[in-house]
Chain A
Amino acid sequence: MQAFEYASPETVREVVGLLGKSWADAAVLAGGTDLVSLMKDNIETPRRVVNLKGVKEMDGITKTAAGLRIGALVTLDELAKSPEVRAAYPSLATAARGVASPQIRNMGTLGGDLCQRPRCWYFRLGYGLLAKDEKGQSLVPGGDNRYHAIFGNTGPAYFVSASSFGPPLVALGAKVKLVSPKGSRELPVEKFFVIPSGDGARETAVGPNEVLTEILVPAAGHNATYEIRQKTALDWPLATASVALRMKGSTVASASIVLGHVAPAPWRAAAAEKAIVGQSLTPEVADAVGKAAGEGATPLSGNAYKVQLVRIAVKRALLEAARGRA
């Protein structure tokens, strides 16, 4: 790990004052469950590490008129146990429970989940976010891509977003607040995640001089997340689906259906969203909508199975949402 300067500010204003113009200048540290391993592997080599844990204004879960305000420093364990989250946002509670292990959930934060770097093994071995060999060709299409993207992979990016909360937050129409020395901005989570289009680009909209301070979740109707992973725990999902529904009587008025771990960003299953409007949520409808979610996939040599996982994750998330309370 490259030696670094360590700062431990207490306000957001101090935090942004300590950040730099480039990623090499500074990195923010919350739970550290990703940053520390990135630094040990020399994937990230910041000159300064800015510890956020002392910034009280970035913590806490608060009910607001519009919904819920969740501080970026709220841990995944706190989210999983929060009565407000469990009551109205089962899609978030499920995502929280699914992350890794109790130790990771005790340390890892919601902001960290959104800002963590992809787990693409070529990236983690040092081939860069776009996994290029020395000739500039991506290693992914001809390599072992069993965990890589089946959507949004027609550009140079093949990794999948590692975030567990991206899909449910996009489905719920949540926003993030980003603060820089110039001020703050609110951004829909859907716009926060970016599919990089070329070298040097990152997978989120956050800039090197910005910090994600809070997440704003609007009031929600029926919502659910369904995650498919090989192991029962301590394992990255192979595919997930988060759904948020607005019902009109017993039929679906509108739906957000967002897939995880199948694209470089949370992936909106537009055909599925369209297919479900005006329908009652029967198992047959859920099955058909699941199938629609797999439409347009562009699987690589070794990950066509994820198309089937998407269909099933969507089907099961819908049935789960139908069972749950609004």
Chain B
Amino acid sequence: MPDTPDYSWPAPEKRRVIGKRQSRLDGAEKASGRAKYSYDLNRPGMLYGVILTCPHARARLTTLDTSAAEKSKGVASIELMAKPGEEIQYAGYEVVALAAETEDQARDAIRKIKAEYEVLPHFVNEADLKGAGTNAKPSGEQTAGDPDQAFKDADVTSEGTYGVPIINHSCLEAHGQVIQWKGDSLDYWPSTQGVSVLGGDLAKMLSIPATSVHTHMDYVGGGFGSKFSPDRWGPACANLSKKAGGRPVKLFLDRATELIIAGNRPSYFAKIKLGAKKDGTLTVWQSDSWGTGGFGGVTMPPLPYVYRNVPNRRLTHTSVSTNGAQQKAWRAPNNPQASYLTCCAMDDLAAKLNMDPVEFFTKNANYTNTPEVYSGQLAKAAELAEWKKTWHPRGQSGSGAVKRGMGLGVCTWFGLGHASTCRTTIHPDGSVAVELGSQDLGTGTRTVIAMVAAETLGLPVRAITVNIGDNKYPESGPSGGSTTVGGVSASTRKSTMNALVKLYEVAAPALGTTPDQLEAVDGKIQVKGTPAKSLTWAAACRKLGTKTITEMGVNNQRGPGGLIGGGVGGVQMADVSVDTETGIVRMNRMVAVQDCGMVINPKTAESQVFGACIMSICAALTEEKIYDSQTGRVLNPDMEFYKLAGIGDIGDIVVYLNTEPEFDKRGVIGLGEPPTVGGLAAIGNAVANAIGVRVPMIPMTSNRVLAALEGRNA
């Protein structure tokens, strides 16, 4: 028997659990409210923390007087988060945190703090680059080939300006935590995407050893890239608890503050000019992009997106710093924006060429890194979207007020797996626990871990106890970059396989064979292919006597050994109806064709794509963080004017996962991010197809659609 067991995934026909639709293990807990999110925790003797924020977009804090608040009823501790003299760069910046016996007392007390400011000039409206002045800084230039000559040689050129505003993550569970000191160490219940690492980050901020922080989190109500850090409220909460003699403190952002400071997805705008030959071959790309993530600006987006290898390119980028909260990673950072800019510009060029965009995007697929993947996906998506039936050349959309249109967008993502270690324990009574310091962002990670373990051990999914959400479990990476399913499936596969090999060693003598002749199937340890010569799982485990088997498994990021892969493609198509009298856009259908390697759980995988499509529908049609130029404040820090799509706004969503053999053999690849990317352009292009003119900026509200129809700016 080789030293290393064969960890590779079973062949498709041999899979009993992997690839089957499995409802999430914690579904009933979540749906019934029994699942306790960190926000739901109420520790004995707990205090409630609130934060005073700066109302000015840019200001110097001149005086800070907390004396009245200190005397206010119920106040236990106060923590200053800004110092007099400090220059504050955005409205919503945290100035003071305070903890009191009840939330109402805390809110009453915080209003008694006297903070005075010298108000300074601010800048928040980066869409108008001309008005940005010194806030705009050139930050990148790229040239390839000979773009000037290519434009001279082009048969057709197309030029347009396109844009995507700042949006938020809008996590259902706001950012925050409960913290309780016990002597020199503390218990930390955050809402985070990184259970294993967050405690160490908090410890560093507090100048205490990493071993002093015990992090727990059973569930998280949404992160989308915004919950990788303890943020400024983490240490503030810890200090409030410490100053209150170690009493637990719950400090979560209220909805308004959540929407103002918990993370901006950068805005991106670009003036783009393209050139092509008559036959539809794209020959040259030129873009002048700008945008902001808030204070600190933003780097160049990945342009041209997916169609990276256009031979002649010239790109410039201007980073604009505004007096807005800083950016945070947002589900496929910068990819949705880059996809929108690229695919809209390409769609406009296709319209000028009088070409069907499916044909145009397919014809130029050799500029992508995986032409065969995109060509196949464009064809599949067109079939599912009934593209040929509904698409029509621009401007030929019938005589009624409501016009229908079709559009497409593309995506890519890297994937692979994060660092992950899993510990599997098999007990003499047959019970099995797998433990990882991972987290389930709502993607179904808990369920997928159990499925991999069940597949390996030949057990039912419910027989596996999955322990995650604690930094005392073996380290598993933060959930970012769609790397979680790759990391945890590889480490779980290896760990459970290692444990199984140990069980084979115990069971083999009783079956009169050697360990390498055994397999685990249907709740039995049996001689390979011979069910008659078997022990039940329980009987095999009883042979452990009083011992347990504990084995580790590590995802080898440098050599994942075929278990996981990366580098995916995807195509989204949108079918919309536009009321040209009101400018209201309604979704009929969105089709997402997505490559994601071997699918462990089709049900939660599809669910990921549904959620991703819905987020792209929100961004394309309704969602926008609105800064007021005069006050510099966010005008819509609420769920009534920060508009997210409701069930009636979504239409049908059709998901097609590429599970064909050539995709399956690549191993597990995460798909949290890629399906969020292409929908913006798909909808934007569908609207252009429907109404015959481009609506350059999203969200495509009544105002903007009517403006485009009337040929005015909005």
Query: Are the C-beta atoms of B104 and A1 separated by less than 8 Å?
Result: yes
**A231-B643 contact in complex given A305-B706, A308-B706, C-beta closer than 8 Å:** yes
Q: How far is the CB of A143 from chain B (nearest CB, A)?
A: 5
Query: Chain A's nearest CB lies how many Å from the CB of B557?
Result: 43
Bitwise interface map of B from 677 to 714 toward A, beta carbon under 8 Å scored 1, else 0 = 00000000000000000000000011100110000001
Do B104 and A305 have beta carbons less than 8 Å apart? no
What is the CA–CA distance of A122 and B707 in the complex, to the nearest angstrom? 25
- Given A230-B622, A305-B702, A309-B582, are A139 and B643 neighbors across the interface (CB < 8 Å)? no
> Given the known A-B contacts A3-B108, A143-B629, A144-B628, are A232 and B646 also in contact in the complex, defined by CB atoms under 8 Å?
yes
Collect the chain B residues with CB atoms within 8 Å of residue A233's CB. Answer: 646, 648
Complex Cα gap A302–B107 (Å) = 36
A228 touches B645 (CB 8 A): no
B433 at the interface (CB under 8 A from A): no
B707 touches A305 (CB 8 A): yes
B630 CB contact (under 8 Å) in A133, A238, A305: A133
Q: Bin the interface of chain A by size.
A: 20 to 34
- On whether the beta carbons of A231 and B649 are closer than 8 Å, the reply is yes
Residue among B104, B584, B648, B703 making CB contact with A146, cutoff 8 Å: B703
Minimum distance in angstroms from B616 CB to a CB of chain A: 16
A residues near B583, Cβ cutoff 8 Å: 305, 308
B581 at the interface (CB under 8 A from A): yes
Per the bound structure, the CA–CA distance linking A233 and B640 in Å amounts to: 11
Q: A35 vs B630: C-alpha distance in the bound complex, in angstroms?
A: 28
Question: A143 contacts B628, CB within 8 Å?
Answer: yes
B633 within 8 A of A: yes
Q: Mark B69-112, 1 if CB is under 8 A from A, else 0.
A: 00000000000000000000000000000000000100110010
Determine whether B154 belongs to the interface, using a CB cutoff of 8 Å to chain A.
no
Q: Give bound CA distance, A231 to B645, whole Å.
A: 7
Q: Which one of A133, A230, A302 contacts B702 once the chains associate, using CB atoms below 8 Å?
A: A230
A207 to B113, CA, bound (A): 34
Bound Cα distance from A235 to B646, whole angstroms = 10
Residue contact A142 to B581, C-beta cutoff 8 Å: no
Q: Name the B residues within 8 Å of A270 (CB-CB).
A: none
Residues of chain A within 8 A of B636, CB atoms compared: 121
Q: A42-B111, A143-B628, A233-B646 are in contact. Are A312 and B581 (CB under 8 A)?
A: yes
Docked Cα-Cα span, A124 to B631, in Å, equals: 14
The answer, yes or no, to whether B626 is at the interface (CB within 8 Å) is yes
Q: Name the one of B628, B641, B648, B702 contacting A232, with C-beta atoms under 8 angstroms.
A: B648
Give B621-641 interface residues, CB cut-off 8 Å to A.
621-622, 626, 628-631, 633, 635-636, 638, 640-641
Q: Is A253 an interface residue (CB 8 A)?
A: no
Given A143-B628, A234-B646, A228 contacting B635 (CB threshold 8 A): no
A232, B104: Cα distance in complex, Å: 35
| Contact residues in A for B622 (Cβ distance below 8 Å) | 230-231
B708–chain A nearest beta-carbon distance, Å: 11
Contact digits for A221-258, partner B, Cβ 8 Å, 1 yes 0 no: 00000001011111110100000000000000000000
A119 CB–B CB distance under 8 Å: yes
Is A119 a contact partner of B640 (Cβ separation < 8 A)? Answer: yes
Interface size class on chain B is: 20 to 34
Question: Which partner residue on chain B sits nearest A287 by CB separation?
Answer: B581
How far apart sit A1 and B703, CA to CA, in the bound complex (Å)? 36
With contacts A139-B630, A228-B582, A312-B581 known, is A305 near B703, CB below 8 A?
yes
Whether A36 sits at the interface, judged by CB under 8 Å, is no
Pick from A42, A119, A139, A238: contact of B628, CB under 8 Å = A139
Query: How near does chain A come to B635, taking the closest CB pair, in angstroms?
Result: 4
Shortest CB–CB separation between residue B6 and chain A, in angstroms?
A: 53
A 135-191 contacts with B by CB, 8 A: 139, 142-144, 146-147
Q: When each residue 1-42 of chain A gets 1 if its CB lies under 8 Å from chain B and 0 otherwise, what string results?
A: 111000000000000000000000000000000000000001
Q: Which residues of A contact B581 (CB under 8 A)?
A: 308, 312
Task: Determine the distance from Cα of A200 to Cα of B633 in the docked complex, in whole angstroms.
Answer: 25
Q: Is A125 an interface residue (CB 8 A)?
A: yes
Q: Which residues of chain B come closer than 8 Å to A143, judged between CB atoms?
A: 628-631, 635
CB-based contact B646/A309 at 8 Å: no
Knowing A144-B626, A305-B703, A305-B706 touch, does A230 contact B631 (C-beta < 8 A)?
no
Contacts of A42 in B (CB 8 A): 111
Please indicate the chain B residues that have their CB under 8 angstroms from the CB of A238 in the complex: 702
B676 to chain A, nearest CB (A): 20
Distance in Å: Cβ of B308 to nearest Cβ of chain A = 36
Chain B, 183-198, CB within 8 A of any chain A CB: none
Q: List residues of chain A with CB within 8 A of the CB of B701.
A: 230
CB distance from B638 to the nearest CB of A (A): 8
A1→B107 contact, CB < 8 A = yes
B697 shortest CB reach to chain A, Å: 13
Interface centre among B629, B641, B707, B714 (most CB of A within 10 A): B641
Quick check: A230 and B628 within 8 Å, CB to CB? no
Contact B703–A232 (Cβ < 8 Å): no
Given contacts A1-B107, A305-B706, contact A125 B633 (CB under 8 A): yes
Contact A228 B628 (CB under 8 A): no
Q: Are B584 and A230 in contact (CB under 8 A)?
A: yes
Closest B residue by C-beta to A37: B638
- B702 touching A309, Cβ below 8 Å: yes
Residues in chain A near residue B649, CB distance under 8 A: 231-232
Inter-subunit contact B714/A305 (CB<8 Å): yes
Q: Which residues of A contact B635 (CB under 8 A)?
A: 121-122, 125, 143-144
Best-surrounded residue of B621, B635, B701, B706 (most CB of chain A within 10 A): B635
Report the bound CA distance from A236 to B642 in whole Å.
Answer: 12
Partner of B643, one of A3, A228, A230, A309: A230
Q: Please, which residues of chain B bring their CB within 8 A of the CB of A125?
A: 631, 633, 635
Chain B residues closer than 8 Å to A308, beta-carbon distance:
581-583, 706
**What distance in Å separates the Cβ of B108 from its nearest Cβ neighbour in chain A?**
7
- Measured between beta carbons, the chain A residues less than 8 angstroms from B630 are 133, 139, 142-143
C-alpha gap A231/B617 in the complex (Å): 12
| B 324-337 to A, binary, CB cutoff 8 A, 1 in contact else 0 | 00000000000000
Contacts of A236 on B, CB cut-off 8 Å?
640
Nearest chain A CB to B289's CB is how many angstroms away?
A: 24
Complex Cα distance, B580 from A312, in Å, reads 10
Cβ distance B332 to chain A, nearest Cβ, rounded Å: 24
**B100 CB → nearest A CB, Å:** 14
Residue of A nearest to B119 (CB): A134
Give the one of A3, A232, A238 with max B CB within 10 A: A232
| CB neighbours of A144 from chain B (8 A) | 626, 628-629, 635
27 cross-chain CB contacts under 8 A: A1-B104, A119-B641, A139-B630, A139-B631, A142-B630, A143-B629, A143-B631, A143-B635, A144-B626, A144-B635, A146-B703, A228-B702, A230-B584, A230-B621, A230-B622, A232-B586, A232-B646, A235-B640, A235-B646, A238-B702, A303-B703, A305-B703, A305-B706, A305-B707, A309-B582, A309-B702, A312-B582
In the complex, given contacts A231-B648, A234-B646, A235-B640, what are 6 additional A-B residue pairs having Cβ atoms less than 8 angstroms apart?
Answer: A125-B635, A139-B630, A146-B703, A228-B584, A231-B645, A238-B702
Q: Nearest 4 CB-CB pairs, A to B?
A: A232-B648, A121-B635, A305-B703, A312-B581
